Amino acid sequence: MGWQQHAACRDTVPDLFFPTSDDFTAPEAARQLLVAGAVCGRCPVRRECLTYAVESGQAHGIWAGHTPADLRAIRRQRAAGVPDPVVDADPMCPGCSLLFALPALDGQLCSACAERQEKGA
C-alpha cells in the first residue's frame, strides 16, 4: 500500500497504536489515544488510513486517530446509508453507495440503480 509510506506513524513504535485494552477510559489506553491522535493529526494520509481501516474491517488499534468503537460507528452509519464525510468524500450513488470516479455529481444514481429506477423496481 503506497499511502503507508507517507504515514506519520511509519517510524513510530507500533505498540502506541495498539493498546493492551480497548477501554479508552482506562488511564494507559487514554494516554495512548492522546499520543497516537497527535501523530495522526499531523499525518498527510489520514483519510487513506481511515478509509483502509473502515473498509478492511479493522477491529483493533487506533487508525487515523479513531478507536475501534469509532470505526464500528462509521460502518454502522454507512450500512444505514449515511456516508461518512471523510471516508465517503468522493461522490457516491445514493441507491447503493457505489463510489463514482470524478466528475460524477453527488446524488447521481449509478447505472444499475438508474436502470432499476426506470423499470420501477
Flag whether 96 is marked binding.
no
9 is in an annotated binding site: yes
Whole-angstrom distance, CA of residue 104 vs CA of residue 111? 12
For residue 81, give the amino acid letter: G
- Annotated ligand binding at 113? The verdict is no
110 annotated as a binding-site residue? no
Residue 10 grid coordinates: 511509519
Question: Which residues are known binding-site members?
Answer: 9, 40, 43, 49
Annotated binding site for [4Fe-4S] cluster: 9, 40, 43, 49
